[in-house]
């Protein structure tokens, strides 16, 4: 019986269960220890660790913060505590912990990644100046880290690259893959349906070969399948591609940078669709030219992107880590790449922080 075991025996049994994956039994023993001794450091630390693993972020934050308070010199779980605070939308605490995690272990890629996301929340929580200073400091201290480099530009105002670093994009979407579809549904995400509506009104007739560019979890797949003779998908995030594979709709999925993929598939497709992919490109010329080359004569290109408030702006990197584009620039790039614009519309793509994200959706045809 649990009651006959000492706290040390319970901790030993909990670790035995943990090592073989019996997490519920391990949790029960750690909680039994804490019921007798609420300040038992080992039980708090491991209960917090499993809380992170099982997305029990409130429990994780409570346990790990108690560990920190009990013995600041011993405490090392800043990365997990920062993640818990991020998930609980406590941006100030998340940023503080994640910065300490990186101080303790500069090679902690998970802490770097989570700091980028926490900084965005921190920025929108009314701490614009502080967030910008932290982002610049972070980027200057870790110039080779893709998250630091990108958010140094996005939040910190450092010079923006022509497009997001591939490793940064892959990392962001790997992190969100597990519940990506639900998160977008909660934000009222509309880009796939908006693009498919354009295609149905003024585009594809009959069965065609389709590329879902930046396919992610395959949200466009069910909408495109009725037109597909063949449907391929390409994306930078392996975890997003795993989700797309589960749908069973694609003939081929590939983990690769989009422009490189397009260059290697000249005249392969009748339709390329890019739903909220180009917001990770600043300059659009190479992506548009490569898309044109991948299309057969008369092929269609449907895409959405975030629309800048200034029509004459080229592109701007925002604290979200995404680019917005001026409409004049977008249409010029489309035409210079060798497309005729069939339809364009201003639409709300989704909401973010309670505000609408305004976009441009376009259907073009290769000359």
Q: What is the pLDDT of residues 66-111, one digit of tens each?
A: 999 999 999 999 999 999 999 999 999 999 999 999 999 999 999 9
Contact 315, 333 (CB under 8 A): no
d(CA 285, CA 116) in angstroms, rounded, equals 28
- Calpha distance 361→193 (Å, rounded): 11
Q: Are 32 and 2 in contact (CB under 8 A)?
A: yes
| pLDDT score recorded for residue 201 | 81
Question: Quick one: pLDDT at residue 203?
Answer: 62
The token pair that represents 291 in the structure block: 């898309």
Residue 307's alpha-carbon distances to 60, 287, 344, 365, in angstroms, are 39, 17, 12, 21
Tokens encoding 40: 């038992």
What CA–CA distance (Å, rounded) separates 62 from 48? Answer: 8
Q: C-alpha angle 220/222/225, rounded to 5°?
A: 100
pLDDT at site 202: 67
d(Cα 160, Cα 148) in Å, to the nearest integer?
A: 12
How many residues in the chain?
367
pLDDT at 206: 81
What whole-number distance in Å separates Cα of residue 15 and Cα of residue 21? 10
| Alpha helices in 203-343, H assignment, sequence order | 221-224, 238-247, 258-263, 285-294, 327-337
The segments of the chain whose pLDDT lies below 70 read 1-3, 202-203
Which letter does DSSP use for residue 353 in this model? T
Backbone angles phi, psi at 166, to 5 degrees: -60, -40
Predicted pLDDT at 2 = 45
What pTM was computed for the model? 0.88
Burial class for 297, CB neighbours closer than 10 Å (0-12, 13-18, 19+): exposed
């Amino acid at each position: 019986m649990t009651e006959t075991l000492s706290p040390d025996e319970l901790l030993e049994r909990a670790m035995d269960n943990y090592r073989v994956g019996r997490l519920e039994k391990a949790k029960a023993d750690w909680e039994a220890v804490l019921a007798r001794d609420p300040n038992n450091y080992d039980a708090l630390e491991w209960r917090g660790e499993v809380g992170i693993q099982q997305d029990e972020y409130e429990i994780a934050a409570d346990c790990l913060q108690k560990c920190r308070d009990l013995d600041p010199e011993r405490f090392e779980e800043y990365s997990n505590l920062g993640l818990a605070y991020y998930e609980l939308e406590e941006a100030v605490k998340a940023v503080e912990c994640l910065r300490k995690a990186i101080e303790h272990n500069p090679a902690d890629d998970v802490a770097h990644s989570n700091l980028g996301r926490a900084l965005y929340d921190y920025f929108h929580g009314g701490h614009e100046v502080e967030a910008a200073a932290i982002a610049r400091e972070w980027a200057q201290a870790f110039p080779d880290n893709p998250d630091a480099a990108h958010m140094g530009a996005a939040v910190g105002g450092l010079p923006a690259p022509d497009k997001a670093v591939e490793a940064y994009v892959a990392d962001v979407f790997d992190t969100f893959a597990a519940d990506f579809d639900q998160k977008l549904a909660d934000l009222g995400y509309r880009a796939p349906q908006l693009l498919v509506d354009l295609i149905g009104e003024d585009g594809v007739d009959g069965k065609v070969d389709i590329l879902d560019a930046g396919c992610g979890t395959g949200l466009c797949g069910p909408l495109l399948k009725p037109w597909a003779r063949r449907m391929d998908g390409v994306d930078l995030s392996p975890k997003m591609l795993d989700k797309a594979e589960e749908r069973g709709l694609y003939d081929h999925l590939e983990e690769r940078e989009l422009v490189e993929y397009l260059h290697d598939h000249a005249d392969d497709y009748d339709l390329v669709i890019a739903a909220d992919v180009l917001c990770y490109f600043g300059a659009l010329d190479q992506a548009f030219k490569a898309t044109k080359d991948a299309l057969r004569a008369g092929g269609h290109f449907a895409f959405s992107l975030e629309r800048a408030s200034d029509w004459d702006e080229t592109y701007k990197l925002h604290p979200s880590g995404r680019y917005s584009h001026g409409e004049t620039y977008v249409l010029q790039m489309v035409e210079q790449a060798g497309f005729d614009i069939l339809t364009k519309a201003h639409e709300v793509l989704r909401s973010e922080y309670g505000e609408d994200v305004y976009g441009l959706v376009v259907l073009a045809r290769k000359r």
